[in-house]
Structure 1
Amino acid sequence: MRVSILRTGEESYRFVWSFHHILMDGWCLFLIVGEAFNTYFAILEDRKPELVPVTPYSEYIEWLERQDKAEAERFWS
C-alpha cells in the first residue's frame, strides 16, 4: 500500500492512494476510505476524529479455534 501527498500548487495538493487488490476489496475499501476522510474532515474542523472501536484480531483467532475443523474440511472438499 502506498500513500502520497503531492503539492500541485501554492495551496493545492493531490492525495494518491494505491494498493494491491489482495489488500482491500470493495467492502473494506468503503470502510477505510470513509474513516480516512472522516478523520481528515474532523482535523480540518479542529475536532477530534470519532473512530469506531475495533475488535481485536485475537478475538477472531479465538473464534477460528472454536470452529469444527472436521466440518470445515467436509465443506471445503
Structure 2
Amino acid sequence: MLLIFGLKTVLRALPGRQATCQNCGQFVHHHLEERARKFTLFFIPVFTTSRTYQITCTNCGRVSSISARERNALGR
C-alpha cells in the first residue's frame, strides 16, 4: 500500500488598511497576508496545522508578524 502525505503552505492576500508605520513613520497603506500550513493526503489538503499573519508597509517594505487577535482587531 502506498500512502502519500506532506505539508503545503497556502498564501492568501487579505484586505489591508491605512496605518502609521512603526519604522518610517508614514501614514500609508499596509498589505496583510495569511500563511496557512496544511497537511495533505494524496495532494489534497485535509486540515490546517498552523496559521500566521504578516503585515507589510508599502512605503518602506517592513514586514511584521502579527497574531490572530491583532488580525481580528484590524478587521473592525
Q: Indicate whether the TM-score tops 0.5.
A: no
Relative contact order higher in (CA < 8 Å, ≥ 6 apart): 2
Give the structure with higher Rg (CA). Answer: 1
Bigger helix fraction: 1
- Using the size of structure 1 for normalisation, the TM-score is 0.19
